[in-house]
Amino acid sequence: MPSKKSNRFNSRMGLLLLLALVIVAGGLGLKNWLKGQAVKPPQEAADSSGPVPIETPKVLDYGQLEENETLKQLMDQRKAEFGLDKGIDMIVQSDESVKIGNTTVSMQEIRDKIRLQSGAIVEKEITAQGGDPKTQVESFGVHVVQPQDNIWNIHFQFLKDYFAHRGITLAPRADEPTHPGRSSGVGKILKFSEGIVYIYNVTERKLDMDLNLIEPFSKIVVYSMTDVFALLDQIDYSNVNRIQFDGETIWLPTADS
């Protein structure tokens, strides 16, 4: 028969063993809980991140413009910044490429050819260490030529879109002569714009000088947004019919003139 001393010893050992198991289990649980907290991002940080910016692809595919919701949102956002809607199909930056059909061409290549044609020296910007290469990025409006398009109507649609943003509605015949042999102010703007807007032959990869021969989906009309808006932003439409144009130079009346 076990003695009372032996029973007390066994009871103490049992309690110590149970206590040790509790401590070990508690330690493992605490370790797992701390591990879970380490990998789980704080809710406050997730909520304060703000709206997710639209991802900008480096190749903008015209064929995906209606199907790719991200691309469509990006183009709508860029056009809204310029106050445009239907006048152009896309706004492409100079460090991006545009894809038309099976052909992809970089806007840098198009920009270099535009500058060569205009007599500017093409220089590759050398950015000093620590400099910001994005300061040289330019924006270009792109209209993909469609069947039945002509260069005059393409420009006129762009102009109507621009003035609509300024609260001005151009009449459907605002580009027609006011009198026989006398161009309207809008007509003079359109004529002058032929010198600052370019047609690029995507398949032949060159600027096209023939404004009348436009082949659908093989050519794009390219607007340098800086040059075009430098012109249009000076126009006081209430004096538009006073505009003078001699075939090369245009005089733009302002609100003070």
Mean pLDDT of the chain: 76
In a shared domain, residues 200 and 246: yes
pLDDT of 216 = 81
In a shared domain, residues 169 and 225: yes
Instruction: Enter the tokens of residue 98.
Output: 């545009």
pLDDT of 247 = 75
In a shared domain, residues 113 and 174: yes
The identity of residue 162, as a single letter, is: Y
pLDDT of 12 = 57
pLDDT of 130 = 46
Q: What is the pTM of this model?
A: 0.69
- How far from each other are the two terminal CA atoms of the chain, in whole angstroms? 123
Q: Best-predicted range by mean pLDDT among 53-62, 100-109, 213-222?
A: 100-109
Is 210 contained in some domain?
yes
Is 42 contained in some domain?
no
CB within 8 A of 3, min separation 6: which ones? none
Is 49 contained in some domain?
no
Which domain does 33 fall in, by range? 10-37
Say how many residues make up the chain. 257
Sign of CA dihedral 78, 156, 203, 110: negative
In a shared domain, residues 200 and 82: yes
